[in-house]
Structure 1
Amino acid sequence: MKPSFRANYGAILALATLSLASPVLAQQKAAPAPQTPALNQPVVQAPAVQAPAVPPPQAPAASQPAPTSLTPDAAGGARSLRSETAALRELSPWSMFQSADVLVKAVMIGLAFASLLTWTIFIAKMIELSIARRKLKSALNKISDSRSLAEAQFALGAKEGVLSSFLAAAMREARLSAGISSDSGIKERAASSFAEILRAEARRIRLGMGLLATIGATSPFVGLFGTVWGIMNSFIGISKAQTTNLAVVAPGIAEALLATAIGLVAAIPAVIIYNHFARVTKTYLEQVSRASGSAGRLLSRDLDRTHGSSLGGVHARAAE
């Protein structure tokens, strides 16, 4: 009994040992795959094998978020914004003139020509008035000490001017009235001739001022006509397009308002220049009136000398 019991007891111990060792062996068979590389290979190579596998899908997603996040609607909105910005940049006066209606273009060209005419008249009248005032002032200084019409004409020489015209008219009237004893009649006829010369000089020096007044008075209304016509065309275009978008409405209204702007550019300088020339012309005509008075005084002296010499001759003959 004892030997058999020992044999059975040894078999039982062997089976128990195997049953306990089987899970450990199973774990050792499953564990060698991940553990043996960590023991046999360097530590640096294990992350090197796994690192490229994880970052590649994350790197593009992090570096390029914008293209993947843009939708077709957002891209279309960006393109429309760029096109509207380009259209607004193209709204220059020249581009608006080119895209305007034919009638509005004609109005703008006419107003531009009126503005050019205004500045041409300004330059020409400034030169003319400055020269006329300087010549008349010099002529008045030359005859200030003259005692007769003949002496005044000799002092002026052969120069032509309004003062020379006054002196010539006075001498002509004195010559035509020779033998007439009425000095008042001669002076009255000479004054009438002086008035005619004064009016002719005023008409000459005011030449072009009527055109300035016309440009200054009518240019705003002509520009307003172009604006009204342009806005009418804009409204027609809006009704055809069936939209009130600013990009559609703004260009037509801007083209229409450009006509009014050009009208004001033509009118404002014309009014200012007209008022300036009105003052300068008034000053010049006052100098012309002084020249007329100087010629009248010289004629009166000549008549008094003639009358005095005639009376002296009569008294001398009576004494004899």
Structure 2
Amino acid sequence: MTADTSMFCRRHLRAALLLALCAALAPMAACKKKDAAAAGGEAPAAGEQPAEAAPKEEPAVELKAKWPAGRRLAVRVMTHTDSEVANPALPQPIKTENFLTQEIAFTASSPREAGGCEVEVELVSVRSENKAGGKLVPAFDPKGDPKLERNNPTAAAFRKLLGSRVKYHADANGDVTKVDGVPQLLSRVTTGLPPTSQLLFRALLTEDTIRGWNVLHQNLPTNSVKAGETWETTREMPFGITKFVITTTNTFKGWEQRNNRKVAKIELSGVLAPKEGAPTAITLGEGATVSGTSWYDTELGVISESELTSQFSVTISQATGQSSTSKLKNKTTSKLIEGGGENTLPVTENPPAAKPADKKK
């Protein structure tokens, strides 16, 4: 497996996992509580203690995706990827770690009369670091000197991404149905790049992947739910030239106080499987899993924090007949850092980015 192919696999994975969790959900049958109260009007038998009244059941609530009009919501997404690549041509597997930090801002317009809205999405900051042999090496530092990146086309492309904007179209349910500005963004970032780097960024900047930047509305149910109830998610996840299918079960665990705000806790667990009929050049190993927790802010209608862990292996077959297998473990966390109240964190300040290309309607 070449260095470019390895880098493609790792970085496309990070973006694809965000996409995989932004899905429309179908509720499952709810759990029911048993009534422990005695039948009304019947007195207890002699010598028996009166039955205790059943605790009052909380009503079902909507954990609905919302886009607060005019409010800038910024999130920090941090991904730590452990990878181990086994290649028959090498005596030992290659172990690497990658740390990717993104800050993304969302600003919604006023709602349309028919429902839904437009959302301006800005990639505020990107930072990438690699660790191999115990040494941490910056792959891209937004505060670094651009003059030192002349021989690093990947870093130069990341710098072009800073300050980039696209536009979401959201329906009345808050779901993103369309993304404007993707071709213009892709052209600006890839112009002048060598072919291998163009391949990487064309995989990272697809419309589906950019939809996945929205970590504010992961795994929210379509119906009202009560604590203890579950719903299921099934979603296709693009991965290079193939696709995987992710199926998760999500559970509303109840209410918590985090950062002085009342939030709903949601837990998920699931599996990844190859899509039937997908190309076999990239295959998914057995035992691929995903699990995580998120906290939904009812006032804002967004996920204010989340944690997601996935573990799986992929085998890439080359035209030469050789193949390499990568074992990957990803841990991704997201946190609302602007627009969520006084306890949010400061957004990273980057050097001025190039003006985004005008977007055609």
- TM-score normalised by structure 1 residue count: 0.22
Q: Kindly indicate which of the two structures has a greater share of residues assigned to helix.
A: 1
> Could you say which structure has the greater relative contact order, defined with CA pairs below 8 angstroms and 6 or more residues apart?
1
Q: Kindly indicate which of the two structures has a greater share of residues assigned to strand.
A: 2
Larger radius of gyration: 1
- TM-score normalised by structure 2 residue count: 0.20
